[in-house]
């Protein structure tokens, strides 16, 4: 007979882990502070589109859900880069047609996971329940729901309640714990690019569109109805920032300067701009991820990252798989399993945090650079020539399940090989020139 598990947080990671545990016979209670997302609209201010890649696909496959999820997505075969002069350039994600991403609606995916989780009779969903306190000695959780207090004593607890996790705060209260939080000085705002009157997409549908600018970054994810969810990243302060786009004239001036090709495609630009909130971007690191055999963290609760590598959801789903694998390896010894899980994951999610920060610079400034494009083409050419030996970093991150740290280490080794080869080639050229001169 399985144990009774309380999962704090009913988002993507919490709902996926809930159904995985219920499948093994555990009793599961999911406590989510928000209302049931299946009964209301999308959550305001949060990105409703996510890029599903290999790691997330693998986790959903293990859960037996991939056949239900994929029809909900739109395939993205590469990036379309929009230059300031209005020209575009397509950059495929990889060397073959299988190396693609899938744009998916966060809320639609969450609803599917909750529906599937609810099929298990031993799994209960509790919405409108906010964690307010824990008694670690008594192994008790206290929730507030509709003005009333509810105390529960599960066998163990999973914190899956996001970057500002109350479960993490309670677990680490009074303990020797590390926590680092870093906000980006840029925020984001979402807009909608509607389909044409005939329902077709106004821009290429099967691609991630990027408008890279030094002072701003626009990213577009496609939707199945032909629309696109646009996310604009801008500094909070300074010229050409959210602080200087607070009225109609300022908004129109910003777009006329940096994104003129988008203006005719966004007839509701000003109305949407004024109605939609500005979101913040945060990355967090913490340790430990667990306490004894009673509490453990997954997803953003233990490693929130910036969205610029498209790995937030994928890494959270991979956490669920890693935790399930650790529980199986340790044969029911939860304390050992939690420690095993953290050892196998934390170094790599720390690496992901650094990669996500670095990719912000790449998306803004490098994707139009001739040197960057030449380097990418060389990576692809070497990958075609040596498919088992040479893998571009992006391929390893998005299209394999290689641990993030291992992928970065391999990429750095490849970079050293290229630098050495280039230095050798220059030396040969220089030697030839010298021989020609003295001869």
What confidence score (pLDDT) does residue 377 get? 74
CA dist., res. 292 & res. 338, Å (int): 8
**98-121 pLDDT per residue, tens:** 899 999 999 999 999 999 999 999
- The pLDDT value given to residue 386: 78
The 10s digit of each residue's pLDDT in 327-380 is 999 998 999 999 999 999 999 999 999 999 998 887 776 666 676 667 777 777
User: What phi and psi values does residue 98 have, to the nearest 5 degrees?
Assistant: -80, -15
Q: What is the mean pLDDT of residues 391-418?
A: 93
Asked whether the predicted pLDDT for residue 273 surpasses 50, the reply is yes
Q: Residue 107: CB partners within 8 Å, gap ≥ 6?
A: 37, 42, 43, 48
Which whole number is the average pLDDT over 170-194? Answer: 95
Distance (Å, rounded) from C-alpha 323 to C-alpha 13? 12
- 45 pLDDT band, cuts 50/70/90, is very low
Q: Is the pLDDT of residue 382 over 90?
A: no
Using the predicted structure, report yes or no on whether residue 224 has a pLDDT greater than 60: yes
The answer to whether residue 425 scores a pLDDT higher than 50 is yes
Q: What is the pLDDT of residue 430?
A: 53
* Position 439 pLDDT exceeds 80: no
Distance, CA of 191 to CA of 253 (rounded, Å): 17
Tokens, residue 415 = 């970079």
Please state, for a pLDDT cut of 70, what percent of the chain lies above it.
91
Q: How confident is the model at residue 30 (pLDDT cuts 50, 70, 90)?
A: very high
Burial of 90 (0-12, 13-18, 19+ CB in 10 A): exposed
What number is the average pLDDT over the span 128-153?
Answer: 97
User: ω into residue 288 within 30 of 0, thus cis?
Assistant: yes
- Tell me which H or E stretch contains 27: strand 27-32
Query: pTM for this one?
Result: 0.92
Residues 6+ apart with CB under 8 A from 337: 323, 326, 327, 329, 330
Q: Band the pLDDT of 238: cuts 50, 70, 90.
A: very high
Of the candidates 368, 376, 360, 397, the one whose C-alpha atom is nearest the C-alpha of residue 80 is 368
Q: What phi, psi does 155 have (nearest 5°)?
A: -70, -35
Bridge-based pairing state of the strands 156-159 and 178-193:
unpaired
Lookup result for tokens 């993507």: 12
Q: How far apart are the first and last CA of the chain?
A: 87
Distance from chain centroid for Cα 358: 14
Sheet with 130-135: strands ordered across: 130-135, 140-145, 148-152
């Amino acid at each position: 007979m399985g144990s009774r598990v309380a999962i704090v947080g009913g988002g993507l990671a919490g709902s996926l882990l809930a159904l995985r545990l219920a499948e093994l016979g555990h009793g599961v209670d999911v406590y989510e502070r928000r209302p049931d997302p299946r009964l209301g609209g999308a959550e305001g201010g949060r990105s409703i589109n996510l890029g599903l890649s290999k790691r997330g696909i693998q986790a959903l496959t293990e859960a037996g859900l991939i056949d239900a999820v994929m029809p909900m997505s739109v395939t993205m075969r590469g990036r379309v880069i929009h230059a300031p002069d209005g020209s575009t350039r397509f950059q495929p994600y990889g060397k073959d047609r299988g190396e693609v991403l899938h744009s998916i609606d966060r809320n639609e995916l969450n609803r599917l996971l909750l529906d599937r989780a609810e099929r298990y009779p031993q799994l209960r969903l509790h919405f409108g329940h906010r964690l307010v306190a824990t008694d670690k000695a008594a192994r008790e959780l206290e929730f507030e729901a509709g003005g009333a207090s509810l105390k529960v004593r599960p066998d163990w607890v999973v914190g899956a309640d996001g970057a500002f996790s109350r479960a993490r705060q309670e677990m680490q209260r009074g303990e020797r714990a590390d926590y680092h939080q870093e906000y980006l000085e840029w925020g984001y705002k979402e807009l909608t690019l509607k389909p044409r009157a005939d329902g077709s997409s106004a821009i290429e549908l099967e691609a991630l569109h990027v408008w890279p600018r030094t002072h701003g970054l626009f990213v577009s994810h496609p939707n199945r109805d032909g629309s696109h969810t646009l996310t604009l990243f801008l500094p909070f302060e300074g010229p050409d920032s959210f602080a200087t786009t607070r009225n109609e004239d300022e908004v129109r001036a910003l777009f006329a300067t940096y994104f003129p090709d988008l203006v005719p495609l966004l007839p509701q630009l000003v109305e949407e701009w004024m109605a939609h909130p500005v979101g913040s971007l945060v990355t967090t690191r913490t340790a430990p991820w667990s306490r004894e055999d009673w509490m453990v963290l997954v997803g953003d609760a233990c490693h929130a990252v910036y969205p610029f590598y498209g790995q937030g959801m994928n890494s959270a789903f991979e956490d669920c798989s890693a935790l399930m694998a650790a529980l199986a390896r340790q044969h029911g010894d939860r304390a050992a399993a939690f420690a095993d899980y953290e050892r196998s994951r934390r170094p790599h999610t720390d690496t992901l945090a650094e990669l996500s920060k670095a990719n912000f610079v790449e998306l803004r400034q490098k994707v139009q650079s001739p040197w960057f494009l030449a380097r990418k083409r060389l990576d692809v050419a070497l990958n075609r020539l040596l498919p088992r030996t040479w893998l571009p970093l992006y391929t390893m991150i998005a299209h394999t399940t290689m641990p993030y740290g291992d992928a970065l280490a391999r990429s750095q080794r490849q970079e050293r090989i290229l630098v050495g080869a280039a230095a050798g080639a220059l030396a040969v050229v220089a030697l030839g020139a010298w021989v020609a001169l003295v001869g």
